């Protein structure tokens, strides 16, 4: 039985694969590079189109905005239409099984106002574990005109985050990175190790078990003592791995969960922004 709001099982997808209203989107990607087209062309779920993490789900790196800036939304919407997706399509997104690329795409679809959008639990790894079919065949969907309804409230800007860091806001700020990066003990990617002042650490991978989301009742234990009516802002290193935490929190009953899209890599791009537990520098 499907009891979750934003997650579909592989079995559900297999049973509905021939439904003409279903749009399958492959988001396989190597997180370190963002590239995934080769993985898609090697094998994917029949009928699935590919959205590339680096090319379609992210924009060009600039001075600010982080290592994976949000894409130009007009270009993203154009990609959605060319994929044959309409406003009433049931969109199911999946990746190789690491959850983050599909969750990033899910967030972007929600951001442009798409309501019937889900991630497939466990990704392609779980799909293949069930011996469901894969193919190399690339579909040719009929292009559609997609009219977005942008939900700007889903984004938290650097000024709102700065207010938290300076103790001027009671909004909850969650750092989704590993505890080692949060504590400033290691930093493989960004300018300086540490975390945004005021943030609490809830590593994104703790929302999952072997690439599958934990049961909502178990998820709720991660947030014991937190007010589900209070606004929450979630960040990670570059706005990718924060998104599984957003899904987890919404599944657990939180009502106002926003993404600091540029995340920690954007935060440290501003010389005046303070860092808690500053560790090693990559400059």
- CB 260 within 8 Å of CB 156: yes
Tens digits of per-residue pLDDT, 242-279? 999 999 999 999 999 999 999 999 999 999 999 998 77
Supply the pTM of this predicted model: 0.95
Q: In whole numbers, what is the pLDDT of the chain averaged over residues?
A: 94
Question: Is residue 208 classed exposed, middle or buried when 0-12, 13-18 and 19+ CB atoms within 10 A define those classes?
Answer: buried
pLDDT at 3 over 70: no
pLDDT at position 267 = 98
Q: What's residue 283's pLDDT?
A: 54
Mean pLDDT of 208-232: 92
Instruction: Assess whether pLDDT exceeds 60 at residue 2.
Output: no
CB of 113 closer than 8 Å to CB of 151: yes
What pLDDT is recorded for position 281? 64
pLDDT digits (tens, 9 = 90+) for 191-212: 899 999 999 999 999 999 999 9
pLDDT of 137? 97
Written as six digits, the tokens of 279 are 């560790």
- Catalytic annotation, pick one of 236, 240, 249, 257: 236
Residues in the chain: 283
Cα four-point dihedral sign 230, 112, 245, 263? negative
pLDDT for 217: 86
User: In whole angstroms, what is the distance from residue 59 CA to residue 251 CA?
Assistant: 28
Burial class (CB in 10 A: 0-12, 13-18, 19+), 76: buried
Q: Is 236 an annotated catalytic residue?
A: yes
pLDDT in tens, 55-103: 999 999 999 999 999 999 999 999 999 999 999 999 999 999 999 999 9
Q: How confident is residue 1, by pLDDT bands cut at 50, 70 and 90?
A: very low
- Using DSSP's 3-state secondary structure scheme, residue 160 falls into helix
The pLDDT tens digits for 149-195 are 999 999 999 999 999 999 999 999 999 999 999 999 999 989 899 99
In terms of pLDDT, which residue wins out, 223 or 33?
Answer: 223
pLDDT at residue number 4: 65
Instruction: Report residue 195 as tokens.
Output: 């975390």
Would you state the pLDDT for residue 20?
Answer: 95
């Amino acid at each position: 039985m499907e009891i979750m709001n934003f997650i579909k099982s592989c079995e559900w997808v297999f049973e509905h694969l021939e439904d003409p209203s279903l749009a399958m989107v492959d988001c396989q990607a190597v997180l370190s590079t963002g590239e995934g087209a080769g993985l898609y062309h090697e094998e994917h779920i029949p009928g699935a189109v590919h959205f590339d993490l680096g090319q379609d789900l992210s924009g060009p790196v600039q001075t600010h905005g982080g290592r994976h800036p949000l894409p130009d939304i007009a270009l993203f919407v154009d990609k959605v239409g060319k994929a044959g997706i309409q406003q009433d399509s049931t969109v199911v997104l999946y990746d190789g099984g690491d959850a983050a690329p599909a969750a990033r795409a899910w967030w972007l679809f929600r951001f442009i106002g798409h309501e019937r959008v889900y991630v497939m639990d466990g990704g392609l790894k779980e799909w293949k574990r069930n011996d469901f079919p894969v193919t190399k065949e690339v579909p040719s969907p009929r292009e559609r005109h997609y009219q977005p309804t942008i939900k700007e409230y889903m984004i938290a800007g650097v000024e709102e985050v700065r207010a938290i860091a300076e103790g001027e806001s009671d909004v909850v700020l969650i750092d989704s990175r590993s505890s080692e990066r949060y504590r400033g003990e290691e930093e493989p990617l960004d300018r300086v190790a540490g975390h945004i002042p005021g943030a609490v650490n809830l590593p994104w991978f703790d929302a999952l078990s072997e690439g599958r989301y934990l049961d909502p009742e178990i998820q709720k234990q991660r947030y014991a003592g937190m007010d589900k009516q209070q606004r929450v802002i979630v960040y990670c290193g570059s706005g990718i791995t924060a998104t599984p935490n957003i899904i987890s929190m919404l599944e657990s009953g939180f009502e106002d969960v926003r993404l600091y899209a540029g995340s920690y890599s954007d935060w440290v791009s501003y010389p005046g922004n303070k860092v808690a537990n500053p560790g090693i520098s990559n400059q």
